[in-house]
Amino acid sequence: MVKVNGTELDIAGKTVTEYLATTNYDPKRIAVERNGDIVFKSQYDVTVLRDGDCLEIVSFVGGG
Amino acid sequence: MDALAERHGAELQRRFSEATVAVCGLGGLGSNIAIALARAGVGKLILIDYDKVDITNLHRQQYKANQIGLYKTDALADNLAEIAPYTEITTITVKLSEDNLTTYLKDADIVCEALDNAEAKAMLVNGVLEQLPGYFLVAASGMAGMDTPNTIKTRKIGKRFYLCGDEVSDVADTIGLVAPRVMLCAAHQAQTVLRILAGEYEV
């Protein structure tokens, strides 16, 4: 299981890109941290999620 | 400076005065963050914005009617010089991008993301975390509209990334930005910066 923003999901084995494709996140508005470190945008396609990983996806909204 | 040392304690004031903080975007968030940090005695501020003061900014941003048309960098530097003349100010009037952010932010200890556009925010956050390892980043998302002030919060994401705001109130879905709620979010960001400088890394 992979914890995504606090929720356990059965997505181990998928890449970050593959997981994001199943969600409504806009890739241009997000930042993804995995186990406390940023996942480089260029690595979404090749970063494979592993059992026990903890993913934080921040989706930015406008205003400032 | 002695007056601040008396209030904050000499050690804490030394940490503030030796710090360099970059404020990226000088709108409702950034102008308030900069003033709070200058008042607290942060030694050096790097102020970054490419835009000019517009009449539609005055309801929430720390500019004056007679500053309309000036670059925000210049206008805010003038205002800070009146408020806290001991603060060292560097102004950079450019639009930040993935390709130039390291050049302009490398001298900072802490970077504040205070842009308004969601995609620009994401660009800066990813850029800082990817290109400037070891730097602290304090960003903001979600402070628009007339919702309760009590949903504005700060959380720590990862080792050196802090996010302030309610994370949902998009300016596009609300009546827009109102001064107190933006100031609340800016205050969260400024206080988080001071806490990091004080060695208090948890929220």
Give mean pLDDT, residues B141-153. Answer: 97
| Cα(A30)–Cα(A25) distance, integer angstroms | 7
Put simply, the answer to whether A61 touches B177 (Cβ < 8 Å) is no
pTM for this model (two decimals)? 0.96
Q: How far apart are the first and last CA of chain A?
A: 36
Structure confidence at residue B1 (pLDDT): 67
ipTM computed for the complex: 0.95
Domains held by chain B: number:
1
pLDDT, averaged across chain B: 96
User: What are the sequence ranges of the domains in chain A?
Assistant: 2-59
- Band (pLDDT 50/70/90 cuts) for residue B111 is very high
Instruction: Residue B134: give its domain's CATH number.
Output: 3.40.50.720
Q: Which neighbouring-strand residues pair with A34?
A: A37, A55
Question: Among residues B92, B75, B99, B120, which one has the least CA distance to residue B22?
Answer: B92
CA–CA distances in Å: residue B167 to residues A3, A60, B60, B73: 19, 7, 19, 27
| Cα(B57)–Cα(B72) distance, integer angstroms | 10
Tokens of B23: 């404020």
The count of residues in chain B is 203
Q: What are the strands of the beta sheet with A37-38, ordered from one edge?
A: A7-9, A2-4, A54-59, A30-34, A37-38
CA B182 to chain A, closest CA, distance in angstroms equals 7
Which residues are within 8 A (CB) of B85 and not within 5 positions of it... i.e. 6 or more apart?
A: none
CA A57 to chain B, closest CA, distance in angstroms equals 9
Please state which architecture CATH assigns to domain A2-59.
Roll (3.10)
Give mean pLDDT, residues A48-60. Answer: 97
Structure confidence at residue B3 (pLDDT): 82
Contacts of B27 in chain A (CB under 8 A): 64
Domain hosting B7: range is 2-197
Q: Is the per-residue pLDDT at B45 higher than 80?
A: yes
